[in-house]
Structure 1
Amino acid sequence: MTRPVAVLRPEPGNSATAARAEALGLTVIRLPLFAVRPVAWTAPDPDIHDALILTSANTIRHGGEALRSMLALPVLAVGERTATMARSAGFDVMATGVADVTALLALAEARGIRRALFVGGRERIPVNSDVIATAITVYGSDALPLARREIEALDGAVALLHSARAAHRLGGLVVDRSRIRLAALSDAILDAAGAGWAGGLAATAPDDGMLLGVARMLAD
């Protein structure tokens, strides 16, 4: 029996991932765990920074006019989707990481970056790096209320995990982890989910297509 695939990421990414999954012939459960909303912020002086670190397309969506004042800074992005949106917004992308933010920061250091501006979400994995001079929050993810029947519908599914926060929340919602398989966007996200699941695999790069490839294997 083929398992359904549960898409848990916030909109608008939820609809996009669900459509890709359905195009692959997968049965999809659309269940956003969070809603992403902009946070008021003030842009720092771009002249005191030498690069912009972007780890999510949500930064582009919710950064507003303040983010546009950073257009002179070269961008290092996690994942091709984030890089593509940055280019569409007018940024010059100097490098795209194919793993996670830790790998991207190592790449930034190798490129000679020393005073980067990190702009991202309120809920993020803490990182320690001499590369980052300033870190600013421009959006937050608020938990959405879920009915018990919605949570029970995940029984026997493959859950797609796009963030460590989604991994943590899923673990707190379900009663029997042994009935659910996990497909995660990275090893760090898979680790954040903890133990006790029916199985789990991480994509080899932070790419939605690769994640769905993993989900397809787990669904069979």
Structure 2
Amino acid sequence: MNRVLILRPEPAAGRTAAKAAALGLDVRVHPLFAPRPFAWTPPPASQFDALLLTSAHGVRLAGPGLTAYRGLPTYAVGEATAQALRDADFADVVAGAGDGSAIASRAAADGHRRLLHLGGTTVAPMAAAIDVTRVAVYSMIALPPDPALVADAAPGSVLLVHSPRAGERLAARILPDGRAALHIVAISPAALAACGAGWASGQAAARPVDDEMLALAARLCE
């Protein structure tokens, strides 16, 4: 059976690994980045009529400033982010299965016009008919190169790439002459493009969610 390598940061990497193991896949976890808190000044909640978080990292690392927005309608990308918000005592949380643009559009459709997005220092472009104020509350720190990543990338392995930055980092770790027997499954076309060329195959999930990525990986492992 082909091996699946998970490159996303913890604790999300552990959740993906558990899902992959439940599918009977041979899993290795090699995070390329680790999230760290980023100093920020909470803008007044009165300036906004809704809150958006695109990662559970934002909930975990925003610190006490996050509590100022508990009274706002809140939107989350993914059920894991939504659950993290509920665990932080946010009562009115809408979870979206798409990307940031999709959930921002949902907020606009619900009548909101001033959205506060608490996220990382690097964020994907967001297209929506709504005024979005982005505030960074965490950053992703590149981890030192791990020789075990290359050692575990046996021929036929499938590498799961959850962001364009991870694709860039992977391309720097596995050079073109080591890619021909490895497969890429990416969360988006942008993440796939960031991996560069020369892989045995490359696919982007139809929707930017773990289940779609793992379904593609499972087919490659059959």
TM-score by length of 2: 0.88
- Contact 1:118/1:132, CA 8 A, preserved across alignment: no
Deviations 1:152-210 (A, max 9, x none): 43243111112221111112211233322122223443343344322233333333233
Moved more, 38-47 or 140-149: 140-149
Q: Secondary structure at the match of 2:17?
A: helix
> In the TM superposition, what is the alpha-carbon distance from 1:7 to its structure 2 partner?
0.8
Q: Alpha-carbon deviations, 1:5-60, whole Å to 9, x = none?
A: 00111111222222222222111121110111111212110011011111111111
Partner of 1:202: 204
1:54-203 → structure 2 map (5 Å cutoff): 54-127=53-126, 129=128, 131-156=130-155, 157-175=157-175, 176-203=178-205
Shift of 1:127: 3.2
Aligned partners of 1:76, 1:188: CA distance in 2, in Å? 23
Show the counterpart of 2:214. Answer: 212
**Separation of aligned partners in 2, 1:219 and 1:180:** 12
Which digits, 9 at most, give the CA deviation of each residue in 1:56-96, with x for residues without a partner? Answer: 11111111111111111111111122122222222244533
Separation in structure 2 between the aligned mates of residue 180 and residue 43 of structure 1, nearest angstrom:
44
**Structure 1 unmatched runs, 5+:** none
Tell me, which stretches of 5 or more residues in structure 2 are unaligned?
A: none
Normalising by structure 1, we get a TM-score of 0.89
Equivalents in 2 of 1:106, 1:178: separation in Å?
A: 40
Secondary structure (helix, strand or coil) at the match of 2:184 reads strand
Percent identity among equivalent residues?
A: 42
- Give RMSD over aligned pairs: 2.0
